[in-house]
Amino acid sequence: MEWKSRGGPLAFRTMDDCVLSRGFKLKDLKGSNEKGVIEVSPCASERGKVMAEIELIEEDKPFLDMEILCLLLNSYKNHFAEMRCSTKLGVARLMWKARRIYIYEKGKFKVRFAHSRGDAVKTLNSVGRLILGSVLCKICGEPAVECALGKCDKCFSDKYPEVVQLKNNFNAPLLIRGVSSLEDAVEESQELINHLVSKKKWPDQIEGNMRRRLRDTIEFAMNFALETHDLEDLRIGTTLIAVARENLLILDLERKITEIKVESPKKFEKLMGKLERAVWRINKNVVERLFSKSHKKVEKADEKTPKALELLDEITGSEEYIHEEGVKNILEELKHYIGKNMRLLKKIDYVVS
C-alpha cells in the first residue's frame, strides 16, 4: 500500500526553532557540547556500568506535557520490561533495553546501567525520538503534537501543509500500518454511533477495540520515528500520533455525552445525536485528507461536513439543555474541537483541491 494519489501524506512545515524542526538532539542543548551537559558517574550497584544525568532546561518550568508523555509510554509499554508514568508526580520510570531511564516533567533525564557515555547519549537520543510529541515548543509553548496539526500559528513557515515524500522507504511500512490501524478505528466510530442510536447503552467492546487500534497507531508511529534518519520524516510520525490522540479525546467526550443524554429531554438527545455524528464526520475528514492513499478525489470539507457549529449553537442557546455546569464544560470542549479542526480542514483543502 502506497500514497499513489499525491505521493505522500500531508504535514506542516515549521519554523527552524520549533521543536518539530529541531528534534531532540543532545548536541543542540544549551549551545554546548555533549560533555558539557551530561554528568556521568559509575553505577554503585553494577560494576562496569555508568549512570548519566542531564537537565535540558535551566528555568524552573515544564519541558514536557505529562498527559501526552504518559499516553506515549503507555502505548509503547510492550517494548519496556517495566514502565510507570505519573502525571501527578511529573515523572516516568522505565526499563528499556536493560537501561533504567527516568524522565522528569521539568526536563531532567537519568540513564542507569549504560555501558559508556556514548551508550548513554545514544539511549537518550532514542528516548527523545519516542517522546518528541510531548516536548513543549519554545516558540508557542504547546506540545509538539499540537504543532504537528498546525494548531499554533506561531510555528509555521507556511500556513498550509505540504506533501511529504518519505526519505527512508525501509521504515515506511511502519507508518502505513499505523495509518491502517487509525483508519480501522475511524470506521469503528460509525459502529459506535449506530449502537448508541439503537441501544442507548455505552458499547464497552467497541470502545475497547477503538482504543486498542488507536494505541497501536501511536506505537507504529513511535517505531517509525525511532527508525527514521530524517527529521522531516519525524513530522509525519508526530502528526499520526497527534491525530490518534485526538480520536482518543473524542472517545472520552463521547462517553461523557452518553451519560448526559440518559437524563435529558428527547429533543436534546436528538440534537446531541446529530452533533456526535457531525464530530465523527469531521474527524474522518481530517484522517482522509492527511493520510489518504487512494486515487479517489477527496471532497471539500464544507461540501459534506454537517453543520456542527450550528447544531452546537442551537443546543447552547437554550437554558433548557445546559442546566448543569458539567454539560457546559463538555459543550465548550466540543466547540473547541470543532473550531480547530474546521480550520485545519480549510488549510488542507487548499492543498488537495
Residue 31 has pLDDT above 50, yes or no: no
- Report the distance separating Cα 274 and Cα 305, nearest Å: 12
What integer pLDDT is reported at residue 42 of this predicted model?
A: 73
- Cα angle for residues 244, 205, 86 (degrees, 5° grid): 50
Instruction: Give the H/E segment covering residue 18.
Output: none
Answer for the pair 275, 298: CB distance below 8 angstroms, yes or no: no
Q: 208 versus 6: which is more confidently predicted?
A: 208
Ranked by mean pLDDT, which of 27-31, 53-57, 61-65, 241-245 comes out on top? 241-245
Architecture of domain 25-130: 2-Layer Sandwich (3.30)
Cell of 249: 479525546
The answer to whether residues 243 and 290 touch, using CB atoms and an 8 Å cutoff, is yes
Q: Encode pLDDT of 220-278 as tens digits.
A: 999 999 988 777 788 899 999 999 999 999 999 988 888 776 666 677 778 888 888 88
Write out pLDDT tens, residues 271-310.
888 888 889 999 999 999 899 765 455 555 555 455 777 8
**132-173 per-position pLDDT tens digit:** 999 999 888 899 999 998 877 778 767 788 888 776 667 889
CA 336 distance to own-chain centroid: 17
Please report the pLDDT score of residue 169 as a whole number: 67
Q: How far apart are CA 74 and CA 66, in angstroms?
A: 12
Q: 72 near 128, Cβ under 8 Å?
A: no
What predicted TM-score, i.e. pTM, was given to this entire model? 0.89
Give the pLDDT confidence of 311-321 residue by residue, as tens digits: 877 777 766 65
pLDDT of residue 54: 85
Q: Give dist(CA 79, CA 71) in Å, integer.
A: 14
pLDDT tens sequence across 166-213: 766 678 899 999 999 999 999 999 999 888 888 778 899 999 999 999
Give the phi and the psi of residue 102 in degrees, each rounded to 5.
-115, 135
| 128 and 25 Cβ atoms separated by less than 8 Å | yes
Alpha-helical runs (H) found in the chain: 19-22, 34-37, 66-75, 117-130, 144-148, 172-199, 204-227, 231-261, 266-291, 301-304, 308-316, 325-352
What grid cell was written down for 183? 483508519
Helix 266-291 × helix 325-352 angle, to 10°: 30
Domain residues of the chain, as ranges? 25-130, 162-352
Residue 48, pLDDT > 50, answer yes
Are the C-beta atoms of residues 235 and 150 closer than 8 Å to each other?
no
Residue 219, all three cell numbers: 506505537
